[in-house]
Amino acid sequence: MRGDAERWKRLDEAEVRRQKQKNIDELNNDGYQLYCQCRYGQAAALFSQAASLARQKGDLSAQCMNFYWEGSCYRRDNQLKKSLSCFFKAEQLNGLDATTQFYNLIDLFEVAMNLHLPRAEIQSMLDKLGPYKDSQQIGGSKSMVLESEYSFLSSCGKDAEALAKAQEAFASQIDKSPSYDDSVYFEDLVTAYRLNGQIPDAWTVLRRWRREGSTKFANTKRNQLMAELRLYYYEDKLDDAWDTLQRIKAEEQYLGRAGMYVGTLEWEILIGIKTKRMEQVKPALGIFFKKYRNSEDLADRYMCYKAFARYCCASCRIVPPENRERMERHAEFWLKKAEQMAGHLDGLMQVAWRTEQIKKIREGFEKI
């Protein structure tokens, strides 16, 4: 594991030295290759360098385009405020061509979703994207807008409507955008089928994804494995889910992004508790606490609080009697934090599913 991290570090240092004399196009192309490899921090640095060089040369279009790509890197790396700053810079300079302006608007919508802005504000941004569904000038714009509509409906708990959008987006996708990734459409469709209880259909789409999906982006295999894990979990095949989780962690280690996916940590703790691997999930809890309890993404904070609440509630069943009262206090502390964050996030989107999640955990705790 340490070898992979050192390998990436050596590559990164060599990359910095190599990039010093590059022109704008070369920096942009190299940044894009790093973006595809999920090396978002290094890619963002190159796009930032390209934007600065473009400003020096008075090339407004190139400056704005590289601001957009820098923002996309930060969004993928979950640095939401930096991402938002880049997108706003690109928009305010008024140097974006029509196509990149559309991509910028799509990513602004995604950041707004991740920052959990009020539902009305997100709906307003979605309304601005609506006309692009009929645009003939921007290839792939229809499917990208439909995918955004799917994300919004899914976050509102409208599973049946979200499935219809995911199906429509999947059917209309066109490989035109340099940031196009068919994994998004496959993943959405697998998720939508699963949430609607159509598990055989979800497995069918996952198998097709593995046969036909693009491998342009380095994290494709990781995303496919995560979809597999969720299906095993909802089929109550917990040992299979745990085995898949180990493959996911190995893949993330290879990508140089171990501990950087909040979803992996959450699943490790959830499945570990259910399969009585309490000691094995302690490292994941430690990473959760250090990295995500104060995350910019409030959903990450919620998942952190929920994970600690689950763990402490489960621990109350197994700790020695003399430690029981202290563990119960810990459980109550994390339950309250999770309840508060769930209420806040649900209130913004006018839903109740997070509140229901914590309610079930509390009910189990009170039966102990």
* pLDDT for residue 368: 72
Q: Quick check: 360 pLDDT over 60? A: yes
Instruction: Kindly state whether residues 37 and 87 are assigned to the same domain.
Output: yes
The CB density around residue 23, as the number of other CB atoms within 10 Å, is 11
Task: Count how many domains the chain has.
Answer: 2
Could you tell me if residue 182 is inside a domain?
A: yes
List CB contacts of 215: < 8 A, sequence separation 6 or more. Answer: none
Could you tell me if residue 122 is inside a domain?
A: yes
* pLDDT for residue 11: 61
Q: What is the CATH number of the domain that holds 82?
A: 1.25.40.10
Could you tell me if residue 320 is inside a domain?
A: no
CB 62 within 8 A of CB 50: yes
Instruction: Kindly state whether residues 63 and 132 are assigned to the same domain.
Output: no
Torsion of CA 225, 263, 220, 180, to 10 degrees: 140
Measured CA to CA, the distance from residue 312 to residue 333 in angstroms comes to 10
Could you tell me if residue 177 is inside a domain?
A: yes
* pLDDT for residue 95: 81
* pLDDT for residue 67: 94
Instruction: Kindly state whether residues 84 and 136 are assigned to the same domain.
Output: no
Instruction: Kindly state whether residues 210 and 156 are assigned to the same domain.
Output: yes
Q: What angle do CA 52, 68, 298 make, to 5 degrees?
A: 120
- The amino acid occupying position 216 is K
Could you tell me if residue 324 is inside a domain?
A: no
Q: If pLDDT is split at 50, 70 and 90, which confidence band does 10 have?
A: low
Measured CA to CA, the distance from residue 131 to residue 141 in angstroms comes to 10
Measured CA to CA, the distance from residue 234 to residue 240 in angstroms comes to 11
Question: For the residues 124-147, what does the mean pLDDT come to?
Answer: 86
Could you tell me if residue 156 is inside a domain?
A: yes
Q: Quick check: 327 pLDDT over 70? A: yes
Single residue among 167, 185, 216 that ends a domain in this structure? 216
CB 146 within 8 A of CB 168: yes
Question: For the residues 31-58, what does the mean pLDDT come to?
Answer: 95
Here the tokens at position 4 are 């992979």
Question: For the residues 174-197, what does the mean pLDDT come to?
Answer: 84
Measured CA to CA, the distance from residue 174 to residue 188 in angstroms comes to 16
If one compares 6 and 160, the residue with the highest pLDDT of the two is 160
* pLDDT for residue 244: 98
Q: If pLDDT is split at 50, 70 and 90, which confidence band does 6 have?
A: low
Could you tell me if residue 44 is inside a domain?
A: yes
Could you tell me if residue 300 is inside a domain?
A: no
Three-state DSSP class for 136? Answer: coil
- Residue-wise pLDDT tens digits, 13-35: 665 556 556 899 999 999 999 99
pTM exceeds cut of 0.75: yes
Average pLDDT taken over every residue of the chain? 91
Single residue among 191, 216, 241 that ends a domain in this structure? 216
Domain housing 133: 117-216
Single residue among 170, 189, 216 that ends a domain in this structure? 216
Alpha helices in 115-197 (DSSP H): 119-129, 141-155, 159-172, 182-195
Three-state DSSP class for 257? Answer: coil
Q: What is the CATH number of the domain that holds 166?
A: 1.25.40
If one compares 302 and 100, the residue with the highest pLDDT of the two is 302
Range of lowest pLDDT (140-149, 325-334, 338-347): 140-149
- The amino acid occupying position 119 is R
